[in-house]
Structure 1
């Protein structure tokens, strides 16, 4: 097994065992009316279907021996009418139950996606991207049959089984007792099969998640570039092949788990009619049961096999699907680390006065604070530069300012209001972020820009692009603003991607701008072009700039030198050079 294969933790196993059936049934609560209609249709359909054996008995015992053509016509017509009615009711039942199931699936997908959207960046840095995708697609998709068919299947099979048993007793209670002796072993075997299927399904879903991770890492633009430059293509193929091969084994085990037990039950059910015929022909019982009753009873007994096995199969499916529900509920139960406040404050006309007051923050699982006791005051419209060595805490401060994390102690405020008291959407409109890792969607330039402001006009898009100094370049493209940027924007250079990202940020018109090492990966000439766009973007805004190249921050109103998460120096470029301290050493 590959070393990156993740085994289930004890917590995962415990959660899979602890999934509540009440919580699963609660998913169907909004559809009570539809399910009531389905149940009523099932009851009517089952009751109508039970008329056929009695009609058959009358055909054999009365109409045929008497050669009563009129009675025979009525009986045959009744049999055809019963079949037509049950078929029509079956279509309506299928439509309603499928619609209910799909709406439940839709609600689950939306709830999981929405809840994951509310998770902090920390969750996504700890979780494999392919794992998240697998929960939404494979796990929820794997539940589709259970969610869509379970409620209707239970009701239909249970009603049919009960009606069939009642009809069998009405025909002959003695034969009914002989037929129902199969139930105890059937229930026992089914419980054994269900436990086996549940364990296999859980393992299969974990393997599917690993397969998704391999696809995400191996077939993304970045993954393909890495694979080709490192000569790792054969390793990636071997990794994918191994995961896919393990899925073959798991799928086979899932399908065949307990199949021989079910085959045994099929044989037993098939043998019972033969035994009934044998008993009816024995000297002591000959003539006790009419031929019509015998034929009608065996027809009912054969008909009982389908709903009983259906009920048992549904039980197996539900038990096996608990592993899927456990994985979905695990994500739905994740606490939201950075959430909207219960009573949000609204800033009607934000000025952009930013303050960090004794802010301390440590990443989960770390014993060392990434930021410790930082206090900074950035007046509205002024600029602050954060400098320091790699790992000093600069980007963590930027993440706290844009509320990607919440401080463990202290607070960050805008115009005196704690960021935790603002709605996240409102905060995103006040604070704009441009980072080194520019992310462009695989769509047109126009739609990439509108991601920031869906209702932006074409004139607004062009104005933002002009300010970001990318409009002229876009105009030279054959499709202009309708040019598809490609996966992650790889059709454009780093500087062009950065300027598109600046234009996108400009559309939101934020009062506070965070530039997190936004030019560190660019060459000098491209950096100068992007810097001019930044200068336009920063006009009249509060600006926090993080940069390795001190030439880009020397004109900042104040510069803070960060070391091991603390501010060790602050001042202007000139005053800091005069101190001949850490900043002067960095500048040298």
Structure 2
């Protein structure tokens, strides 16, 4: 048994009792359908031929009540199958969706750097929809098909062997036809999923950037792109429907051929006196019991292709091992001071061969305020992202209070680091909920105090509902400065000993920058702070300024010392002053 099969079957384990009950009901329902033609044969062959009509009527009424009872029992079984069985499938889908979402949380930035959000969304939503049908109907259809198929064969062979062999001669050809179509349908359905994932990615990209689209009046361009993607999806659908049409029409041909063969063969046998007319009627009634299992198996094949291609894409993600994980003996941090040291650190992205930077040697004392500057692309943000292990160093070591950060549990490490970025991300919800994200168990008083420290309380109180104001997706209803102050309040609430400011004021106007800068300085007090600066005027008072290049640290000193060196920093400062 393959690992993928074991993984799939493992999702049935919590619902084993429900699964067995569902299979039992399927067995009972399938068995009942086999009884009806036998009752009809008994009535036409024995009762009406060997008994007076008055005597036969009493038995027929009893048999009618029996069939009514069987119909009620079959209805109850089918209800259980349709309701409880589907809920079992839905619960399995629920478990899979939880697992893949949890797995997403474990994957590093390296993974997300190469993925489209819409594609990832498709794998957690659309790809798992058909899992419900497969998990429920798959085993059930197989059980029902086997019972009806084997049961009908045993019954018919006891009625008339030659006519039974005529019927079953067609079945191997039907199954060969189904097997032939299997791979074609698999490829077609997989292409459908890939195309709908592309559409999801395109929609997500468009809606996320709708303000850019409208600002450039490029709605028609976006429509053209969407129409092209949508057309490719329709073409993949056309191919899959062609395969389905071939499948179902082929089945219809075989069904008609079996009926014709039974009628002709049965008529010849009746003429020869080999069987009675009632036996031919029984055969015709059982044809449906023979064809229905084949139809169910074909439907199962369709469900299997839909479900298993979704499960394949699910497993593609689940098989990606997180490249940044806790060591076996990783420890929690206690009494963090905040001393950070880079020792011969180099870094390159997984898919590249060139180092972003190399040979970084830097020691930052606890509580020290250090600024990183350099031209775009030299890795300032990446260097700071190595501290909370968003990326892993390619070589060298980073220590926190003398301990290799790889020996620290990820959650503990990141709990002690606060990050304020240029591109602030606020979640859909209220002001209160977004600040509380820094400390989920914070009281309302703690949240208000954090907002005050971030110079955010006054503008929050001017909002329609104060701290309960709904701010829209990504805080769209707030200005850049307001969003930035909420993100700072969030970090105040977290209260970490280490801070990273990633060009936190570069996108703000002068007035907003002044307010935010004041908040940042208040936040940085007595904390180890890394500032990635675009506007060099904001770091004049930094005790230590690091000038970073692809080769590593090129210059180091305070603002005055670096200007006197008339090197890279002096050139950068001159350029920024000229651009202001």
Residue aligned with 1:103, SS: helix
CA distance in 2, matches of 1:285, 1:343: 85
Q: Deviations over 1:297-338 (max 9, x none)?
A: 221122221112111331343245443332221111112112
Whether the 8 Å contact between 2:163 and 2:266 is mirrored in structure 1 is: no
Matched, 1:500 2:486: yes
Whether the 8 Å contact between 1:51 and 1:82 is mirrored in structure 2 is: no
Unmatched tracts of structure 2, length 5 or more: 575-580
Aligned to 1:46: 30
Query: Which stretch shows the higher mean deviation, 320-329 or 74-83?
Result: 320-329
The within-5 A match list for 1:275-290 is 275-282=261-268, 285-290=271-276
The structure-2 alpha-carbon separation of the partners of 1:105 and 1:283, relative to structure 1 and needing over 3 Å to count, comes to closer
Residue aligned with 2:149, SS: helix
Aligned to 1:182: 170
Whether the 8 Å contact between 1:502 and 1:534 is mirrored in structure 2 is: yes
Deviation at 1:503, TM superposition (A): 0.5
Matched, 1:129 2:113: no
The structure-2 alpha-carbon separation of the partners of 1:392 and 1:245, relative to structure 1 and needing over 3 Å to count, comes to closer
Residue aligned with 2:501, SS: strand
CA distance in 1, matches of 2:186, 2:262: 37
Q: Deviations over 1:382-409 (max 9, x none)?
A: 2111112222221111111221111011
CA distance in 2, matches of 1:231, 1:245: 23
Matched, 1:93 2:81: yes
Query: Which stretch shows the higher mean deviation, 241-250 or 532-541?
Result: 241-250
CA distance in 2, matches of 1:200, 1:456: 52
Whether the 8 Å contact between 2:341 and 2:361 is mirrored in structure 1 is: yes
Matched, 1:455 2:441: yes
Residue aligned with 2:423, SS: coil
Deviation at 1:30, TM superposition (A): 4.3
The within-5 A match list for 1:340-419 is 340-419=326-405
The structure-2 alpha-carbon separation of the partners of 1:20 and 1:189, relative to structure 1 and needing over 3 Å to count, comes to farther
Residue aligned with 1:481, SS: helix
Matched, 1:307 2:293: yes
Aligned to 1:472: 458
CA distance in 2, matches of 1:333, 1:555: 49
Q: Deviations over 1:472-516 (max 9, x none)?
A: 001011111121222222221111110011011111111100001
Aligned length: 569
CA distance in 2, matches of 1:363, 1:521: 27
2:48 aligned residue (48, 60, 64): 64
Whether the 8 Å contact between 1:153 and 1:311 is mirrored in structure 2 is: yes
TM-score by length of 1: 0.92
TM-score by length of 2: 0.93
Deviation at 1:283, TM superposition (A): 7.2
Matched, 1:119 2:107: yes
Whether the 8 Å contact between 2:185 and 2:302 is mirrored in structure 1 is: yes
CA distance in 2, matches of 1:249, 1:484: 42
Whether the 8 Å contact between 2:89 and 2:131 is mirrored in structure 1 is: no
Aligned to 2:577: none
Matched, 1:328 2:314: yes
Aligned to 2:161: 173
Aligned to 2:543: 557
CA distance in 1, matches of 2:270, 2:198: 66
Whether the 8 Å contact between 2:259 and 2:284 is mirrored in structure 1 is: yes
Deviation at 1:259, TM superposition (A): 2.0
Whether the 8 Å contact between 2:259 and 2:287 is mirrored in structure 1 is: yes
Residue aligned with 1:401, SS: coil
The structure-2 alpha-carbon separation of the partners of 1:381 and 1:261, relative to structure 1 and needing over 3 Å to count, comes to closer
Deviation at 1:261, TM superposition (A): 4.4
Deviation at 1:284, TM superposition (A): 7.0
CA distance in 2, matches of 1:450, 1:186: 63
Whether the 8 Å contact between 2:269 and 2:275 is mirrored in structure 1 is: no
The structure-2 alpha-carbon separation of the partners of 1:119 and 1:132, relative to structure 1 and needing over 3 Å to count, comes to same
